[in-house]
Structure 1
């Protein structure tokens, strides 16, 4: 992509609307070959940005979903112990003995998302989404530093694999914990804000084409006000889309108090939030 404007156009064609700041961040990430760290409240479209970027580039999306306890074997690579055991038994049946060098070869290597992205071969590099990196343990970040800095993964038994063309790397974080400076230094950074009501309405309109324009406009404007309440989890774009989808599914063409309360479970995710939002909906 030649400039931020083209980034906006290509992502728009993939049904993902960006503001100027995010368009510039994506452009610089692509032009400089640097990983892009996206932070923001849950539901602002961080994961969707990576998915749309893969569509815009017409390249595979490889996703690594992070969680507490994530290990190198699940993220980088691991050995296929079943195949190794089978090879040992076949060798024993032939009255042969396999050395360690025979067992730890590329034949028995299982690629996990990061090594798969490094070893990808194709006309364009893949988009690697490292989703919700803040959910992983601190130690896992250290495993990423070689890859993020050099687009390579070292397998002690085989050596270092380096990407022929570095993958497009997008990391997302909801800031449930602070990330280490070493990781941040290797990435470009962008904070995604909740979209304005007008941009949110356009996003919802594309996601729920069967909903009426008055319903979408009223719902996105109201969600903007609901986010200002004292909530455990403010509704994001995903919840807004779910709410408008639910309202459209019951035949609503505009906001009505009874319909809003009956579908409140699409935007309120805790009992306390349900109560707070219900009171706000009933208040003129």
Structure 2
């Protein structure tokens, strides 16, 4: 049985393990992941959309050969959707069949539905699962308060059943795009790392892993163009995800070296609003050579 602090022995090992599953981590992210594992603390990742926050958590689960459990946050997310809820249909059937001796018999483990957080707490495999709490900034302030016990103690309290504490705390990664400020109490419970958009050279290395069929000149030109595009006044600057989609589209069209016409034909993969389409198209026309 592996506890989080026993899983990896150095930040360099984190880099190696993530590299083996085609995720290229820089030294800062590797150190943050290593310390989160060694200290048994949740890790809060922030950065612009598309820089690889969610992908980092997925890759970590792959690298550690452990289950990946994802909780996608959104406005109105409730405890019943994130922690646990009761199987009301089964409880009602139990009552109709005359099998319920009293109310307490309806609130047992047999009627409990595990949602992502409780599932992570109760997981009993050899290595703790990776639990991704994705885009926590999209959830309401009240939902953050529901997480405090779990983030601090790796435990979930169910009034009818008591407290479930993890025998081996799950590896928890939270992501935020900073659409709103998070509670200080939540930040205090986590280690923190900001993921920068990679340099064109780093982006090219990442894209090469994701789109191995693309030519080297195409990858170089595309990542350099994206780097310049990100300096424009855009509603939504393209991230790594858009870069990979774009190069995949270009490669599928047989493009080996980028030209302005190729940008215009595939602009919907990198520009996601009408204004951005105009701005990116104008930048492509002005590039000489592209």
TM bracket (short chain): over 0.9
Partner of 1:243: 246
Look up the SS of the partner of 1:255 in the other structure.
coil
Measure the CA separation in 1 of the matches of 2:236 and 2:130: 29
Q: 1:210 aligns with which of 210, 213, 235?
A: 213
Measure the CA separation in 1 of the matches of 2:24 and 2:222: 19
Measure the CA separation in 2 of the matches of 1:66 and 1:149: 19
Measure the CA separation in 1 of the matches of 2:164 and 2:35: 25
Partner of 1:45: 52
Q: CA deviation at 1:98?
A: 2.4
Given that residues 42 and 174 in structure 2 are in contact (C-alpha distance below 8 angstroms), is that contact kept between their aligned partners in structure 1?
yes
Unpaired runs of 5+ in structure 2?
Answer: 1-7
Partner of 1:127: 130
Partner of 1:229: 232
Q: What are the Cα deviations for residues 109-157 of structure 1, in whole angstroms up to 9, with x where unaligned?
A: 0000000000000100000000000000000000000000000000000
1:69 is the counterpart of 2:76: yes
C-alpha RMSD over aligned residues: 0.7
Measure the CA separation in 1 of the matches of 2:21 and 2:163: 35
Q: 1:253 aligns with which of 256, 270, 282?
A: 256
Unpaired runs of 5+ in structure 1?
Answer: none
Measure the CA separation in 1 of the matches of 2:64 and 2:248: 29
Look up the SS of the partner of 2:238 in the other structure.
coil
Q: How many residues align?
A: 280
Alignment of 1:93-112 (within 5 A): 98-112=101-115
Look up the SS of the partner of 1:37 in the other structure.
strand
Given that residues 214 and 248 in structure 2 are in contact (C-alpha distance below 8 angstroms), is that contact kept between their aligned partners in structure 1?
yes
Alignment of 1:93-172 (within 5 A): 98-172=101-175
User: Using a 3 Å threshold, how does the CA distance of structure 1 residues 97 and 199 change in structure 2: closer, same or farther?
Assistant: closer
Look up the SS of the partner of 1:2 in the other structure.
coil
Measure the CA separation in 2 of the matches of 1:27 and 1:222: 33
Given that residues 94 and 100 in structure 2 are in contact (C-alpha distance below 8 angstroms), is that contact kept between their aligned partners in structure 1?
no
Look up the SS of the partner of 1:161 in the other structure.
strand
Q: What are the Cα deviations for residues 211-238 of structure 1, in whole angstroms up to 9, with x where unaligned?
A: 0000001100110000000000000000
1:28 is the counterpart of 2:31: no
Given that residues 51 and 195 in structure 2 are in contact (C-alpha distance below 8 angstroms), is that contact kept between their aligned partners in structure 1?
yes
Partner of 1:55: 62
